[in-house]
Amino acid sequence: MIPVVLSAMVAMQAAPAKPAPAAAPFAIGETLLYGGKWSGYPLGEVASATMSVIGIDTVRGVASWHFSLTTKISALFFHNHTELDSWTGLLDFNSRRFVHRVNEQGKQLSDDDFGVYGDSGYYRNRSDTLKKRTPPNPLDDVSFIYYLRTMTFKKDSTYKIPRYFRDDHNPVEVTVIGHDTVEMSDGSRRYCWVVHPVVDEPNGMFARKANAKIWLSDDGLRLPVQIVSDLVIGHVTLKLKSIAQTK
């Protein structure tokens, strides 16, 4: 996963109760391409990422979005390649399958394929007999980013969202820091919401130590135009370079 605040008094608010609508601000074929820089290596890009809406698949008889996120980091003596795939219900926006692969320094750290059964209250990895608790409306790491794109934000608010598929790490807390303007690669500027999601999971995408912040365009598309995440030394900034529409 991507290794990714102003202090403020925040009002604690409940997350939107209804699931993300079918008429979402993304569509099949949307592909977002990112370039990344590490603060500890100022000579050029050391990271890249691709976030895609691959299509609509059927999972256990339910029409589901297929989302994909891949990231690569190659900086000096650190190399990481992460592949994440999510299958999330088209109408109910519940995660049903989540694939998580991480190769770091040539070692396969993770190779997981989770079946997520929100209607039965559990998830499990591959054919494991061990079942772990999941909430009724689960979201995985990738579908959570797309869910953020459907939310309505208020400045200086924190939303508690008890939907992370690993139920013992709930709730996800999303603090809305405020607005910022990001200069894009083509010289244009996008006005964005800046949000700070936290999942109480040591090595996850939104782990507290990662201090991840996401800049979402404040328009009808809610594009994640920038993601900043802390590393052991410094931080990595992924910035949207281009948008493709594939078939």
Q: What is the DSSP string of the chain?
A: ----------EEEEPPSSPPPSS-S--TTEEEEEEEEETTBTTS--EEEEEEEEEEEEETTEEEEEEEEEEEEEETTEEEEEEEEEEEETTT--EEEEEEEEEETTEEEEEEEEEEETTTTEEEETT-S--EE--SS-B-HHHHHHHHTT----TTEEEEETTBSSGGGPPEEEEEEEEEEEE-TTS-EEEEEEEEEE-S-TTSTT-GGGT-EEEEESSSS--EEEEEEE-SSSEEEEEEEEEEE--
Query: Burial of 96 by CB count in 10 Å (0-12 exposed, 13-18 middle, 19+ buried)?
Result: buried
CA angle 227, 37, 146 (to 5 degrees): 20
Q: What is the rounded CA–CA span in Å between residue 171 and residue 162? A: 4
pLDDT tens digits, one per residue of 17-61: 344 455 789 999 999 999 988 776 666 777 889 999 999 999 999
32 within some domain: yes
pLDDT at site 12? 29
What φ, ψ does residue 220 adopt, rounded to 5°?
-70, -20
Rounded-to-integer distance, Cα 65 and Cα 93, Å: 8
Within-domain flag for 5:
no
Considering the domain boundaries, does residue 170 fall inside one? yes
Measured between alpha carbons, how far is 145 from 93 in angstroms, rounded to an integer? 12
* Residue 95 falls inside a structural domain: yes
Range of the domain at 125: 11-245
**Within a domain: residue 35?**
yes
What pLDDT, on the 0 to 100 scale, is given for residue 233? 66
Spatial contact of 41 and 76, defined as CB atoms under 8 Å apart: yes
Judge whether 201 lies within some domain. yes
**pTM here?**
0.85
Domain tally for the chain?
1
20-21-25-27 Cα dihedral, nearest 10 degrees: 110
Q: Is residue 1 part of a domain?
A: no
For residue range 68-83, list pLDDT tens digits in order. Answer: 999 887 767 777 788 9
Tell whether 2 is covered by a domain: no
Sites in the chain below the pLDDT cut of 50: 1-20
